[in-house]
Amino acid sequence: MTELELRQTYVNKMLSWNGLNVADGSHRKIIDIYNNDKPIPNNYKVKYTDAWCATTVSAAAIEVGITDIIPKECSCGRMIAAFQKIGRWEERDDYTPKIGDIIFFDWNDKGVGDAKGWPDHVGVVASINGNNIHTIEGNISKKVGGRDIPVDYKFIRGYGLPDYATKAKSMSPAPTPVTPKTTIIPMKTVIASNSLNIRNKPTTVLSTVTGVLKNGSKIAPLKKENGFVYFEGWCSVNYLK
């Protein structure tokens, strides 16, 4: 498995939980994964009513089998301390992250210098487009969802940087994707009113979303299948011209 494949595997696990929420209790699946993986940090079993952002980051790491590079924790502050202990902490707010990096937020940041306060929230970098970051997070408005923010966003506390490169060398290769028949098609422009999902398969299944394209983005598709085109990922032809 390559470093990029491992990063994407972890992000895909987070994305597969997109929409799980407190209202219907579907978020309990995530908390159960965390609680059932022994030993539990600090011997604290997460309650269904607790904040669960760090729990989500940890549960995805448990599922992928990488808790040695993403410290398992239900506390944002203790997770930062764990990243610092293994030398994988980035303090700079203006750091340009990679997909799979762990992003921490401090909602009390005053916007002067690097934030040093107690972290309030954590998520995962799902995609990068220039200076724009798209995240996937647990417990964002009491559900799994994402947000779009710029690099050097005021409320960024810092980043945990899992050592995907070293870990990938010890893991089995990622499954080889089936390559569809190649068809060269003209340059296309996104005409979605807001943004267009990028997917790892030509399907509308929610768990396949890996990022977004802004309205007006130009792409050069190489493949077409089932009403989708492929460039660096799959997207629907219905929102292209």
pLDDT along the chain (241 residues), means of 10: 95 95 97 97 96 98 97 97 97 92 91 75 95 96 94 93 96 58 60 81 84 80 80 82 82
Instruction: Give pLDDT, residue 113.
Output: 62
* Shared domain check, 93 and 32: yes
> Which tokens hold the place of 193?
């009113």
* Shared domain check, 47 and 142: yes
Instruction: Give pLDDT, residue 182.
Output: 42
The answer to whether the CB of 2 falls within 8 A of the CB of 170 is no
pTM for this model (two decimals)? 0.71
**Domain range spanning residue 219?**
188-239
- Per the structure, how many domains does the chain have? 2
Pick left, alpha or beta for residue 238 (phi over 0 → left; psi -120 to 50 → alpha; otherwise beta).
alpha
Instruction: Give pLDDT, residue 184.
Output: 46
Instruction: Give pLDDT, residue 112.
Output: 63
Instruction: Give pLDDT, residue 229.
Output: 82
* Shared domain check, 79 and 34: yes
* Shared domain check, 116 and 26: yes
| Cα(204)–Cα(197) distance, integer angstroms | 9
* Shared domain check, 135 and 226: no
* Shared domain check, 140 and 217: no
Instruction: Give pLDDT, residue 97.
Output: 97
